[in-house]
Amino acid sequence: MGVSFDVAQIKKDFPLLDQVVHGDKRLVYLDSANTSQKPQAVIDAMSGYYETINANVHRGTYKIAQDATEAMEGARADVARLIGATASKQLVFTKNATEAINLVARSWGGANLQSGDPVVLTMMEHHANIVPWHMLAAERGIELRWIPVTADGQLDLTGIDRLLDGAKFLSFTAMSNVLGTLNPVERLTTLARDAGAMSLVDASQYVPHMPTNVIDMGADFVAFTGHKMLGPTGIGCLWAKEETLEAMPPFLGGGEMILNVTTEGFTTTEIPWKFEAGTPPIAEIVGLGAAARYLESIGMEAIRQHEVELTGYALRTLNERFGDDLTIHGPAEPATRGGVMSIQYKDIHPHDLTQIMDENGVCLRAGHHCAKPLLKSMGANATARASLYLYNDEADVDALGDALEASGDFFSF
């Protein structure tokens, strides 16, 4: 590990990690792809907000209302900076990534997609980037096309020209939440643009773990979610350029998003608030801002470096220890993947595996990971998934190995 990255020190920033479960088992949290833990800085920012400046935003003239508004808009600037946005107003706050994608499907899709218009997705999408498009398909008959996945968990781009031919939109994940695969974002957004299609990158698994520059990504939209990047639940983001957002009709209607309302109708306010109807989750926004600053203080390059090394350690040691009994899905080379590992051990069902893991204090998710089409193409109903983050270390990976061994002993028939 690099000298500047001190995982032992980082662990101390996360109070939840310092506990035992089931009597005497150290809690080993390996489910950050599901939701991440929160550093004290985020918890403090949120309680500090409630303790000192809680007031509704963009309305009051009194001091704490202005402080609250400034805290919210300061957080927007912090997150915008983390992802390389060139202006804060390119960032719309949503409830989560799911709502950000629904916003695009409803607003942009509603205004621009007609019956028969092709929308291209990939076979490794989270349901959040499938169902909104299915809903548009059911409603107005858009055509969904699917980029297939190869046996080693990469996008199969051999037929991409045909798939993009005539397409109006391409929506894809930057990193698979099941396989850890890092997709060729810039290449795909360039291909989409050349084909005359707009594009959305689901960066829910990417922004938390990788140095991100939304301009370099080349997409029209980038969606991500706060709770996977050390922030609280209930807050997510949609990034897009000003002219893109300005050309779109509003999503939800209500307070905050209007310029004027009469008995005849309404006019919308400026972006990004045009897309933020109603009182926003202010404390959550403040918490997300603190998360962005925390990530920045550690450094996304250093975090990525740590995860590449730790993923390499996990792939190497677990494969050595368990050989053919263990399958780790997805790309074999740590530099081409994130720290998300779907594993199959012996013939033990993921539910049974994670149950025994839990008994050993090790938190893993079992299930379809909201990516049923991908699981089906892998020939599985469910997998057990371990995912790493900045606060995980080699001891956590070793604990995973020990828990796997315990499961093997329990289910050795």
Ligand X SMILES: Cc1ncc(COP(=O)(O)O)c(C=O)c1O
| Active site residues per annotation | 370
The reply on whether position 284 binds ligand X by CB under 6 A is no
Partner interacting with residue 90 (select from ligand X, another protein, none; CB below 5-8 Å by kind): none
Site string for another protein, 151-190 (x = CB under 8 A): ----------------------------------------
Partner interacting with residue 225 (select from another protein, ligand X, none; CB below 5-8 Å by kind): ligand X
Sites for ligand X among residues 61-100 (CB under 6 A): 96-98
Task: State which residue, 105 or 375, has the beta carbon closest to another protein.
Answer: 375
**Cβ of residue 367: shortest distance to another protein, in angstroms?**
4
| Candidates 151-159, 185-193, 228-236, 359-367; binding stretch for another protein (CB under 8 A) | 359-367
Choose which of 367, 373, 401, 408 interacts with another protein (CB under 8 A): 367
Choose which of 6, 73, 143, 352 interacts with another protein (CB under 8 A): 352
Q: What angle do CA 116, 120, 123 make, to 5 degrees?
A: 130
**Cβ of residue 336: shortest distance to ligand X, in angstroms?**
17
The reply on whether position 42 binds ligand X by CB under 6 A is no
Task: State which residue, 86 or 381, has the beta carbon closest to another protein.
Answer: 381
| Candidates 74-82, 240-248, 277-285, 355-363; binding stretch for another protein (CB under 8 A) | 355-363
Task: State which residue, 291 or 374, has the beta carbon closest to another protein.
Answer: 374
Contact 49, 286 (CB under 8 A): yes
| Candidates 60-68, 195-203, 336-344, 361-369; binding stretch for another protein (CB under 8 A) | 361-369
**Cβ of residue 205: shortest distance to ligand X, in angstroms?**
5
Partner interacting with residue 352 (select from ligand X, another protein, none; CB below 5-8 Å by kind): another protein
**Cβ of residue 176: shortest distance to ligand X, in angstroms?**
7
Q: Which of 304, 328, 404 is nearest to 28 (CA)?
A: 404
Give a three-class secondary structure readout of the chain: CCCCCCHHHHHHCCHHHCCEECCCEECEECECCCCCCCCHHHHHHHHHHHHHHCCCCCCCCCHHHHHHHHHHHHHHHHHHHHCCCCCHHHEEEECCHHHHHHHHHHHHHHHHCCCCCEEEEECCCCHHHCHHHHHHHHHHCCEEEEECECCCCCECCCCHHHHHCCCCEEEEECECCCCCEECCHHHHHHHHHHCCCEEEEECCCCCCCCCCCHHHHCCCEEEEEHHHCCCCCCCEEEEECHHHHHCCCCCCCCCCCEEEECCCCEEECCCCHHHCCCCCCHHHHHHHHHHHHHHHHHCHHHHHHHHHHHHHHHHHHHHHHHHHHEEECCCCCHHHECCEEEEEECCCCHHHHHHHHHHCCEECEEECCCCHHHHHHCCCCCEEEEECCCCCCHHHHHHHHHHHHHHHHHCCC
| Candidates 70-78, 210-218, 223-231, 350-358; binding stretch for another protein (CB under 8 A) | 350-358
Choose which of 349, 373, 401, 402 interacts with another protein (CB under 8 A): 349
**Cβ of residue 234: shortest distance to another protein, in angstroms?**
22
The reply on whether position 331 binds another protein by CB under 8 A is no
Choose which of 32, 173, 183, 199 interacts with ligand X (CB under 6 A): 173
